[in-house]
Structures are given as structure tokens and as C-alpha cells.
Structure 1
Amino acid sequence: MRENFQASLKVTLAYEGGWSDHPKDPGGATMKGITLATYRRYFPSANKTQLRNISTENVAKIYRQDFWQAVNGDTLEAGVDLATFDAAVNSGPGRAKSWLRASVGGPAHQTVKRLCAKRLGFVQSLKIWSTFGRGWGARIAAIEAKGVAWALAHAAPATTVKAKLADEQQAATRIAKTARTSGGTAGAATAGGGGDVLVNPHHAEQLAGWVIGGLLVAGAIVAIVLISRSVIHRQRAAAYAAEADAMGVL
């Protein structure tokens, strides 16, 4: 929605932060989410110092043109606009629009959830997930929760919105607990060396060593995936709880 640009920008900038020049960040030098390469499209001779001192007006101008307009933010439903815009800032407008096209269908808040899930799946596939994953996961969870809240608020009374946010929190909490328990079980079986869950100990001596090793590695991978899933859903639960709390007592 056209009127949501400034609100969406405020949300996104809170996660983009200030100056960053992390050696493992493929974007390189970045100020408020704007890379030096992007800034130089507007100011060709700009250096890092000039980027670091970018004006508020130029920040809004670049975000509107390069990201909001690129995903047709003015035409998107409330909540969907925020989720698509924030995804565009992190992963590019092309990917954001692709995720949106694959997520559209049904109520707007469901579109938000599907889009954020696709975005999360993409960043988890990146090699630098181990470095930035926890922060990315928390950000995507927060954008999902806020996007859902905006979408619901556009079509339902506040009491209904808060109740739905609480439902989402409880669902995410249940998934997190189940994943954590399953991950701990798989991890314990693997760490035990005998692979109780993965290999029948009475038959283990009949299997080649490389087979046993492969199964144990597979068990460890399963444990890691489940534990990671638990963390992601704990982040989602916390994000939905924060959105519900922000609504106060109704």
C-alpha cells in the first residue's frame, strides 16, 4: 500500500542498522542497508566515507526507487508489502517478487507466512548462514509476525488480531518443543556410538564400517536440522508474542 512505505522503511531500517563493512558480507561496505555499489549508481564518485554520511532523504529515495517501487509496493496488500519489501532489501527485488508470486493465494496473512518461509529457506541454503543465520532468522521471524499483524489489522478488529497472534505464537512454540525433543533424541543416539536408533546393535558387526559411519553422520545431520528448526520456531514464537504484547490490553 502506498501509505505503508514510510512505516515499512522504518521497520526495515531498524534491522539494517548503521555502518557495516564485514569481510564475510558479500555486499561489502553498507550503510543502513545501502551498499557502496548501490550508492554509486546515484553518486558515481562516492567513497565509503560519503556512504557512511548518507542523508535521510537519500536513504528514503534509494529505498523507494530500488526496492519499494521495484516490487510494486504501492499495489500490495498491507503486511504483504512489508514482507516483500524487506525481502527485496536483503535478497534483491527479483527474488522477492519470485517468492511473492509463489506465495499468493488466500488471505493476505497467509501470503506473508508463505513468503517468509521461502525467504528463510533461501538464506538457510547460503554458505554464510553459519555466520549470520541467527540474526537473519530473528529478522525474518519478526517481519513475518509484523506482516501478519498488519494484514489482519486491515481486515479484522484488534481483539481478533491479538487472538490470532497468540494462536500463531502457541503453534510455533509447539513445533519448537517437538523439534528440540526429536533433535535431542537423534543426537543422543548418534553420540552413543552404537547408533541405537539408527543401527540394530545385534547386526552392526555384519555391516561394513563405512555404512555405519554414514548412518551415524546422517543421524548427526538429522539432529542438527531438528535443533535448527527448534531455534527458528522459538524465534517465530517470540516475534508473535512481541507483536501481541505491543497491542497492549484490549
Structure 2
Amino acid sequence: MENFEDAFKALIGSEGGYSFNPADPGGETMWGVTAHVARSQGYNGAMKDLPLDTARHIAKQKYWNPLHLDELDPRVAFQIFDANYNGGLVVLWMQKASGAIEDGKFGPDTLEAVKNTDPMKFVMRFAAYRLRYLRNLHAWSSFSRGWTERMASNLLLGAA
């Protein structure tokens, strides 16, 4: 995995296509993009028709660029990107995994701390914080199997 395009391809492998599961707090999604996010980014069509290129653009602008993921080790960047796309306390997990001040606010100090953390240690710590978060969600009973498989796949990618 070298860049955003590689990360997006891996992410879409976990997200899949159209879904409208009543147990999913994200509601109706296509390529993992919720209707709410799609509308906020200017997409007005039916969610089942959301083009993959539109999802790619949203992913880059909303979930990759704001956290300066091009500046990080690709293994680290992917873990952060996947979690940011999927939801959670991503900046706080970045801070905890890197030893940065834990204030939940992304800035240059957090970015620098992540850059200066051994990538493998970061990946393992970040995954642990993310799994703990997922385990405590109400939706765990409905989605634990898929989330566990996603995390296992992400750890394998992180170890590559």
C-alpha cells in the first residue's frame, strides 16, 4: 500500500456496495458513504446509484486530506483512514497510540507525534483502541462478525 488510491481500494473491499440495514446507525449507504454525508457533499441522486468515483472523491476530501495522511507511513495512514471513514474517535486514538496530548483535537503536534512513533507499534495500539471502542457500541451484537473481520484484514495489511 503506497498511497490514497491503494488505501481506497482496500477500504472499498471492506465497505462493499449498497446497504440499508435498519440495525446500522449509519442508515442507507453506498460504498460506505452514508446518505447524510453524500448530501452534505452535494450528491442528490439515489444512494444505490452513487458512483464509485464520487465515493472516492468524498473519501479523499473528507477522510484522508484533513488528517494529512499523505505525510504518514502508508500502513499507519491506512489504519487511520479506514477508521475515519468507518467512524469513531480517530484523533483521540491517534493521540493515544502516539503518546501525544489527548485532547481530541487534530493539529501539528498530533501529526508530529504520529510521524515519530514506530509504525508497527502505532498500528497495534491504534487497532486496540479502535476494537475497544467498537466492542462498547450498542451495534456490536449486530455487526461484531463483520467488524472483527475488517480489523483482522486491517492488521494483516498493517503487517505487510
2:126 aligns to what?
115
Equivalent residue number for residue 105 of structure 2: none
CA distance in 2, matches of 1:39, 1:99: 25
Partner deviation per Cα, 1:82-140 (whole Å, 9 max, x = no partner)? 00000101115xx1121111112642011001101100000000111011001101101
Q: In the aligned structure 1, how far is the partner of 2:133 from the partner of 2:64?
A: 21
Q: Deviations over 1:46-77 (max 9, x none)?
A: 25x2x211223211110001101122211111
Partner of residue 200, structure 1: none
1:85 paired to 2:84 = no
The letter for the 2-side match of 1:22 is N
Q: Tell me how far apart the structure 1 counterparts of residues 69 and 135 of structure 2 sit (CA, whole Å).
A: 26
What is the alpha-carbon distance in structure 1 between the residues aligned to residue 129 and residue 40 of structure 2?
A: 29
In structure 2, give the amino acid aligned to 1:90.
Answer: N
CA distance in structure 2 between the partners assigned to 1:40 and 1:99 by the alignment:
28
Q: Which structure 2 residue ranges, 5 or more long, are not aligned? A: 99-115
What residue is the counterpart of 1:130 in the other structure? 141
**Structure 1 residue identity aligned to 2:19:** S
Of 99-108 and 57-66, more deviation after overlay is shown by 99-108
Stretches of 4+ moved more than 6 A in 1? none
Paired position in structure 2 for 1:28? 27
What secondary structure is seen at the aligned counterpart in 1 of 2:24?
Answer: coil
Amino acid at match of 1:9: F
Q: Displacement of 1:26 after TM fit?
A: 0.7
Q: How large is the RMSD of aligned CA atoms in angstroms?
A: 1.6
Larger radius of gyration: 1
Structure 1: give runs of 5+ residues left out of the alignment: 150-250
Task: Return the alpha-carbon distance in structure 2 between the equivalents of residues 122 and 61 of structure 1.
Answer: 27
Q: What is the Cα deviation at residue 11 of structure 1? A: 0.4
Using CA pairs below 8 Å that are at least 6 residues apart, which structure has the higher relative contact order? 2
Q: 2:91 aligns with which of 93, 97, 105?
A: 97
Counterpart-to-counterpart distance in 2, 1:133 and 1:31:
20
Name the amino acid aligned to 1:125: N
Normalised to the residue count of structure 2, the TM-score between the two structures is 0.83
Q: How does 1:1-250 map to 2 (within 5 A)?
A: 3-43=2-42, 46-47=44-45, 49=46, 51-92=47-88, 95-104=89-98, 106-149=117-160
In the superposition, the TM-score normalised over structure 1's length comes to: 0.54
For 2:68, the aligned partner's letter is N
* Between structures 1 and 2, the one with greater helix share: 1
Distance in structure 2 (CA, Å) of the matches to 1:85 and 1:79: 10
**Tell me, what secondary structure is at the counterpart of 2:26?**
coil
Tell me which residue corresponds to 2:108. none
Give 1:161's aligned residue.
none
Matched residue of 1:135: which SS?
A: helix
Aligned partners of 2:31 and 2:52 also within 8 Å: no
Would the alpha carbon gap of residues 107 and 53 (structure 1) be closer, same or farther in structure 2, given more than 3 Å must change?
Answer: same
- Counterpart Cα distance in 1 of 2:52 and 2:139: 30
- Which deviations, in whole Å up to 9, do the C-alpha atoms of 1:192-223 show, x marking residues without a partner? xxxxxxxxxxxxxxxxxxxxxxxxxxxxxxxx
